[in-house]
Chain A
Amino acid sequence: MKRFAILLERLALTPARLGKLRLLTDYIADVPDPDRGIGLAAITRDLDVRTVKPAMLRELVIARVDAELFSLSYDYVGDLAETIALIWEPHGPAAELGLAATVDRLNCAGRAEAPALMTKMLDGLDTSERYALIKLATGGLRVGVSARMAKQALAGFGDVDVTEIEELWHGLSPPYSELFAWLEGRAEKPVSAAAAPFRPVMLATPLEEGDLAGLDPADYLAEWKWDGIRVQATSEAGVRRLYSRTGDDISCAFPDIVAHLGFEGSLDGELLVRRADGSVAPFAELQQRLNRKTVGKALMERHPAFIRAYDLLQDGAENLRPLSFADRRARLEALVPTLGPRFDLSELVGFRGWEELATARADPPHAVIEGLMLKRRDSAYVPGRPKGPWFKWKRDPHLIDAVLMYAQRGHGKRSSFYSDYTFGVWTPQDELVPVGKAYFGFTDEELRQIDKFVRDNTVERFGPVRAVRADRDFGLVLEVAFEGLNRSKRHKSGVAMRFPRIARLRWDKPAAEADRLETLEAMLPA
């Protein structure tokens, strides 16, 4: 329990992804079975724990601590679980109870026994362990670790490719002992036994300048790259699952899709939602439906989901992945029309030469298109991101010139740098209004330059944030690149950018000549 408590504490305060990965890998290496697997599952929230109500814990505390002292403490700390963990005065000797054993006891206790069990366990733990136990028992563990990150930590620990973990994942359950045995070289790779397993996804590499010169247009097929999320829809032996491209099961959020998985096999496609008129909706509308455990009827009716099919991986008992893309595509074209209105086919873009394709890319037929995909006709479907068989050729980003308004200090290695920038454009009243925030895109040298500019031109401070001088006569102009623009009620400017980043520093450009809000408004989708 101690080791798990320390891990939680470190994860919660470590901002960098690589730092989190190392903490996870070390945990896996340090802690024996079954605790490490249970710990990992608790963090990725793949663990079934019978939970207790925070109100019950509060009553346990009030029985020991004066109610007024408790309430003064809670006001100060602000988090109930943390307040209880801190204020709880242990009675009796410390008890080293393993994490797996702790979870076991929680799951075995009936509703009536839970208070006594919690009291007993809290009495034997130290402060950080109490915090971990309470978060575990109240279902409140959120430390910013995705299932994807856990899988990467496992891959790093065993020095295997992450796709191997993804492929196995849905056939495994906590404490994953057979997985660890394989990763430590003590046993054979476990055989995935799950029905409707995830098949690791094939990804494309970005098309670099000059790549096209070495490619023969006749070897490739092209299709539009849609701005939704990549999914894998699988239905086998009565088990239906919708996976994200990293193998997370997102079926619960899309029962409207799952209900129509009336085929036997597995296909790869783009998840999108429609508008009332049947047209494809921008990403912002799809986003309403993402990251949910459940979904209401009204939401499903407002944003009905469908899959635009790209590929067919499994057809009945036949694994199509070793076939060529052209052959798989032919099978897909035959299948999709039988699947009903929740599926359609990603159309091919005809072209004779790269120039013709470049023209199509510059003017795609739909606003929700991000660019083009190029796939070799003879490419087998292989996991990961091999260079060559598939390319993504995105549209050029939108660019605007905006004025730096606020800068915030970063975290970790950037904690002494002002590295998060809020920038604005001019309103019709000639005032600056913030339109976005970016914290990457610049080089280390540019970061140093901006940091100096911020420190030299601060006009106001709000904690870690500084307002910098920005007016008609003076200011730093940033060329900002972004992928798309949506309407936003939350922002004063009424617009929200997707993937904004700093493309260039325009030291040469006078602030008064930065872009105007009207320019952005003209880019909004209809």
Chain B
Amino acid sequence: MAKAPLLRPRPEGLYCSKGDFFIDPVTPVPRALITHGHADHARAGHGAVLATQRTLDIMALRYGADFADSTQAAEDAPLNVNGVEVSFHPAGHVLGSAQIKVSHRGRSVVATGDYKRHADATTEGYEPVRGDILITEATFGLPVFRHPDPRAEIAKLLTSLRQFPERAHMVGVYALGKAQRVIRLIRDAGYDAPLFIHGALQRLCDYYVSQGIDLGELRPATEDRAAKASYAGQIILAPPSAFAAKWAQRFPDPLIAFASGWMQVRARARQRGVELPLVISDHCDWGELTTTIAELMPEQVWVTHGREEALVRWCKLQGIAAQPLNLVGYEDEAE
């Protein structure tokens, strides 16, 4: 009879009974291991939290310093949690993001959290980690998702800026990770004019800068109510939800762009009223997902949040045991 697996899904999240902890639980638990700082993975109110220092910093920025009863920063060396060995490895998703490897008596499971392998100057690079079981995300787990070179997407934005110099270019970005990556890409494309940011991005941008990631000159887009015309031909970055709010009414003839992997599908762009879709994602595309599985060749693949069905199908075609893991509470790139 097969032994009980090291991790199993519970309503609160992935649970390790040997070590009595959860990974990325969606409700408060006594002991939580957190992969990264996005709100659907990192929630406030747990007892003890173990995560990378940067993830702990980000959680403190978002929820206040007392977001948990106690915290511990994961070091490079593996840790022992109630007799179970736990190690954190860069996931390449956002700053501080990690995969978590759990090992016990010679058996191991790797939970990727959210990850990507495309180059990104604003996060630690993904590191392949072997385990008997690979628990992979599948946000973009369909063969139609092949993320293009993000530099070409940024070139589209800069072209549009030249074409429509009288319009404020509003770029929808999530506050953690996407915002800083897009800013860095804009800088790398040679655009060094000030960028205007929505207040919701300020603290996280400051944090990235404090970690040595240069974002150039950022100005708040929340002041100067009178100077509407001054935003013509400027780039304004904001969480996408801000575009429907009265906040957006201060900008001249806004041109709505949105940086997201979902922008690959035209209907998605159209539904959201996006004029300029920028296909830039912090998740693996289909090629990265399948390459990773083929490279690591785990005994089993568990597929979670996203389009599980297609990735499970692909594994079966390759002769790799795979099953969907129906965890609830994780959003598709926070939509």
The chain A residues found within 8 Å of chain B, CB to CB, are 6, 9-10, 12-15, 19, 22-23, 26, 65-66, 68-70, 72-73, 76-79, 82-83, 86-87, 126-127, 409, 411-413, 415-417, 448, 451, 455, 463-464
Contacts and interface: CB of A to CB of B under 8 A. Distances in A.
A66 B244 CA distance: 40
A100 B310 CA distance: 38
Nearest to A66: B317
Contact of A409 (B144, B145, B244, B313): B244
A87 B275 CA distance: 23
Given A13-B275, A19-B164, A73-B144, A416 B249 contact: yes
Contact of A13 (B243, B244, B269): B269
Contacts of B225: none
Contacts of A411: 273, 275
Given A66-B313, A412-B254, A416-B248, 10 more contacts: A6-B156, A13-B270, A19-B275, A22-B163, A86-B143, A86-B146, A86-B265, A87-B144, A412-B255, A412-B256
Contact of B143 (A22, A87, A416): A87
Nearest to B266: A82
A6 B155 CA distance: 12
B273 A464 contact: yes
Contacts of A413: 167, 252-254
A365 to B, nearest CB: 47
Contacts of B313: 66, 68-69, 72
B148 to A, nearest CB: 7
Given A87-B143, A455-B246, A23 B163 contact: yes
Contact of A69 (B146, B249, B314): B314
B242 to A, nearest CB: 9
B273 A415 contact: yes
B267 interface: yes
Q: Which 9 A-B pairs give the minimum distances between C-beta atoms?
A: A416-B248, A86-B144, A413-B253, A73-B144, A72-B310, A416-B249, A73-B142, A87-B143, A87-B144
Interface string B269-284: 1110111110000000
B272 to A, nearest CB: 9
A445 to B, nearest CB: 12
Interface in B249-305: 249, 252-256, 264-267, 269-271, 273-277
B280 to A, nearest CB: 14
Contacts of A79: 266-267
Contact of B142 (A9, A76, A78, A126): A76
Q: Of residues A6, A22, A77, A409, which shows the largest number of chain B Cβ atoms within 10 Å of its Cβ?
A: A77
Nearest to B252: A413
B275 A416 contact: no
Given A69-B143, A72-B310, A73-B144, A412 B275 contact: yes
Contacts of A78: 267
Interface string B319-332: 00000000000000
B269 A417 contact: no
A70 B310 CA distance: 9
B307 interface: yes
Contacts of B245: 416
B40 interface: no
Interface size on B, as a range, is 35 or more
A417 B256 CA distance: 13
A416 B243 contact: yes
A420 to B, nearest CB: 12
Contact of A22 (B144, B164, B307): B164
Q: Of residues A14, A26, A73, A416, which shows the largest number of chain B Cβ atoms within 10 Å of its Cβ?
A: A416
A26 B167 CA distance: 16
A415 B244 contact: yes
A117 to B, nearest CB: 23
A368 B278 CA distance: 49
Nearest to A15: B275
A415 B269 CA distance: 14
Nearest to B279: A127
A451 to B, nearest CB: 8
A415 B248 contact: yes
Q: Of residues A26, A78, A412, A451, which shows the largest number of chain B Cβ atoms within 10 Å of its Cβ?
A: A412
Interface in B115-152: 142-146, 148
A13 B314 contact: no
B333 interface: no
Given A77-B144, A77-B265, A417-B249, A69 B310 contact: yes
B176 to A, nearest CB: 23
Nearest to B270: A13
B266 to A, nearest CB: 6
A72 B142 contact: yes
A14 B266 CA distance: 12
A455 B277 CA distance: 27
